[in-house]
Structures are given as C-alpha cells and as structure tokens.
Amino acid sequence: MGEEEKSAISVQKKQVFEIIPEVELIDVCSIGTGLMTLSDNQKHEAILAFKEIDEVISYFIPASGSGSRMFNSLHQFIETKEQNPESARFFKELKNLALYQKLPQTTREKLEKIDLVSLAHYFLHAEGLNLSETPKGLIAFHQVGNSVLNPFQNHSLQAAKLFPDGVKMHFTVDAKSEADILFSISGVLGGQLNKLNLSFSVQDPETHAYCFDDNQELIIVDDQPLRRPAGHGALLKNLNEIEADIVLIKNIDNIQHPSRTEVSNDVSRYLIGTLKVFQNELRKLNEDFSLLELRNLNNKYQWLSSEVVEDLTASQFIELVSRPIRVCGMVKNEGEPGGGPFWVKDDLGATKQIVEKVQIASDDSQQEIMSESSHFNPVLIALAKSDLDGNPLNLEKYSNQDKYLNVKKTYKGKSIYFRELPGLWNGGMYHWNTLYIEVPPEVFSPVKSVLDLLNPLHNEA
C-alpha cells in the first residue's frame, strides 16, 4: 500500500468517525422566498427561448444501479416462505404489471398452479429473469399493447419526441450492461436511433470509498481494502466530461408511461427555456451593471439572498455570473422521499442548496426548519456547463468537498461505514447559481418498489 493510498484512508477514516458534515439551515425555500412559480406568460417566454436554442444539449441519466431493492418483499418471501403484504399484493396484481409479459406463455397458462416461492425464484434468480442482478433500467416497467418498455427505451422515446431533430443522450451504466442497453434502445427507436447521439460512461473506481468496521478498522478482503461506490456525487467527473452547453439531468427510474410523458416534456421545455432567459438577462446586466437592476432581477428569480445582493460589487458580480447555472424543478412535498430546497448558512451569508435529511442536525431548531419544507427535489434539472460567453467550465471547481455524506450499510451480515462524495446535486453543485421552479407532480413517478409500477403514471392514460 503506497503512501498516497494510506493518506486517503486516513482522511476518509476521520471523515467517517470524527467529523459530522452537517449543514446549517437558515430557512426553507418557499414560494416567493427562493422558489418560483412561473406565470403563463413566463412559461410562454421560456418555451419560445427553448425553440430558439442553437447550443448543444445532452441528457445525463445516472443508471448503473440494479433493480434488486425493487423486489425486497420477494426476497423476504423466499427467505421466510411466508407471504408479507407486499409480496401478496405482487402476486395478486401480477397480471397488471408489465413483468407479466416477460413470463413464458406456458408459465402464464398454468400460473394458478405454480408454487409461488418457485415463481419468486424465477423472477429474481439466474434460472429465470434474474431481476436481482438486472440493471433497473432494463427491467420491464410499462406495457404498450402486447409490448413492454424498460426505462432506457422509454427515456429514449421521450427524448426523441422532445427533440425530433436530434439530441445527445448520456447514461452512466455498469460497463458489462452497455451492449444490452444499446440493443434494447435500438429495438424501439429503429430508424430514429441516429437522431440520438448515445453515449455511456462508468463511475470511476478510483472514486470508490474505503470501508471501515464497528471498531473503526479498515476492512480487508482478499488482501485488498474493501471499497464501495461513493454515491452519485462521484458522477460529477462524468458530467464534467460531457461535451454539451446545456444538460438535462433525470433519474433512470423517474419515467412515466409513454401515454403520460407530455407533461414531463413540457416541463423540460420551460426549465431549459428559463435557463436561457436567465442567462440572457445576466448577460445584459453583466454588460451594464447597476445595483437597482440586480435587485429587480433577483426579485424575479430569487437566486440570491437580499444580504448578498446589497453587498455585491460589480467585480463580485462578474465572478458570480461566471459560475455554472442550474434550474431545478421542485414538486410539492406530499410525503415522498427526497432532498428539499433550503437557504443554508455560508461564509458569505446565505446560499440556496438542495439538502438531504441526513445532512441536517438533530437539534430542535434545525428539525423545525426541515419540517416546514413545502417542496422536494424530483431530480429534473436543466443546467449550463458553459459561462455566459460559451466557454466550458470545470464543474469540479464549483463543488464543496466538505459536504460529503456518511453512510452505514451491511456487508456479509456485518455493518460497514464509509463516506460518500458530496451528492451530485447537493454539495457537488454547491457553488452554482441556482433557480428553483415549482413543477407539477405528474413529473415525479419513481420506482423504489415493484408495486410503484401499479401507480396511474405507470399505466396507460
């Protein structure tokens, strides 16, 4: 083990066991105080700006995870041989799931007579559909007639509809699945495949975290330190390497039935369009700076705290507008999981951040602010990777490495501890110019459990 690796292990051990990387909340971002609702006129202006874009646009969709956790209830059923509420509902509703179409016809014909434990084995393990080891993006989500679509296919169809003249599309994947993913997408796009400039990348293993045990000792497996992927924040490097001026970030499992995708595409239009309008207004102010115009612009977009605005000089404004920009859709919080939009204490005053619950201190004042949050992040983000002059930016320069996340997981029945890198849209985008825009709930249909596929947004309208 070299000195550089020893140093990295020492730093990560301190991060995991000695330093609590909490943020300090000042207030929630709510409508009128950091969170915008677009008027019909603003949406119209944004969509016109979207139609006039001539820069390179790319999707960026993290998609390397497996679907194993979707089927936790089936794993439990196999282990205990006893039905739990979720597994019972799975078998009751099986014919209403796209996965039903993946069963052989002979199996479907005698479904009522098949031992359910054996059927669960067939779904999850290698002798059958092997869904425990299948990337989530390759699992059948939606039924269209007698055909089924997986998320890779559906995202691609949705992108082709939004950008009929073509667009870049980038997925971060498990390398061994790349050929299957490409084959899957080409199967539904046919002649349209050449309109999607598809590309793939993998999470750099050099970013993987070192793992420690209950005694704060480094875990060694086969004479090597045990390492685990360090969260989606490790994908900042992949995002940085995308050659595009504008990027639209979505999660692989947040996709709707093809008959219900127009709302999502419409929101994508006005998020990207708002990004362009905001850039244009920043460009004008940059050319002729005045504090009065900055106040007016901030009243409209609410991206800075009033204290920062009043103290900002023309030279500081030039530095500020040279940063990357992100326009984040925010959905009303109705009990769904996800980070929320907050004002956070910063060296310069207050800054807008997407904060996860695990980042928030347990004291009453911080928990009270968290409880007042009205919206959460569905991960629908339009961002500018270039400055106002079109020069590409190094995104890693604008992250905050102190906002990492500590996690506890299980490995071979024992607890392991490691630190994840600052989340891609959390600390990874800490020093960005940030707009939050309220978007309708129809854009949010994640699949954490297979039973989520029974929700209306995953079935034909």
Rg for the chain, CA atoms, rounded: 23
Q: What is the pLDDT of residue 114?
A: 87
CA distances from 312 to 148, 298, 303, 306 (A): 54, 12, 13, 10
Residues 23 and 353: beta-carbon distance below 8 Å: yes
Structure tokens given for 51? 């139609």
Rounded distance, CA 266 to CA 40, Å?
A: 13
Residues 58 and 245: beta-carbon distance below 8 Å: no
Structure tokens given for 441? 């709930």
The dihedral sign for the CA sequence 382, 385, 389, 390:
negative
Helix or strand holding residue 74 (H, E) = helix 72-80
Strand, coil or helix: 334: coil
Residue 329: partners with Cβ closer than 8 Å, 6 or more residues away: 267, 271, 378, 380, 381, 437, 438, 439, 443
Mean pLDDT per 10-residue segment, the chain (461 residues): 90 90 90 95 96 96 91 95 96 95 90 90 92 95 94 96 95 94 92 88 94 95 92 95 97 96 96 97 93 94 92 87 96 78 88 92 89 92 95 96 91 91 95 97 95 96 87
Note the pLDDT tens digit of each residue in 241-278.
999 999 999 999 999 999 999 999 999 999 999 999 99
Q: Which residues of 239-259 are buried (b: 16+ CB within 10 A; e: fewer)?
A: beebebbbbbbbbbbbbbbbe
Q: What is the pLDDT of residue 315?
A: 86
Residues 249 and 380: beta-carbon distance below 8 Å: yes
Rounded distance, CA 200 to CA 181, Å?
A: 10
pTM for the full predicted model: 0.94
Instruction: Please name which of 444, 303, 452, 447 lies closest in space to residue 379, comparing C-alpha atoms.
Output: 444
One-letter amino acid of 407: V
Strands of 146-244 (E only): list them.
147-149, 167-172, 196-201, 209-210, 220-221, 224-225, 227-228
Rounded distance, CA 267 to CA 329, Å?
A: 8
Strand, coil or helix: 135: strand
Q: What is the pLDDT of residue 450?
A: 97
One-letter amino acid of 450: V
Residue 331: partners with Cβ closer than 8 Å, 6 or more residues away: 375, 376, 378, 438, 439, 440, 441, 443, 444
Place of tokens 């990337």: 135
3-state secondary structure 374-412: CEECCCEEEEECECCCCCECCHHHHCCCCCCEEEEEEEC
Domains assigned to the chain: 3-66+149-445 (3.90.550), 69-133 (no CATH)
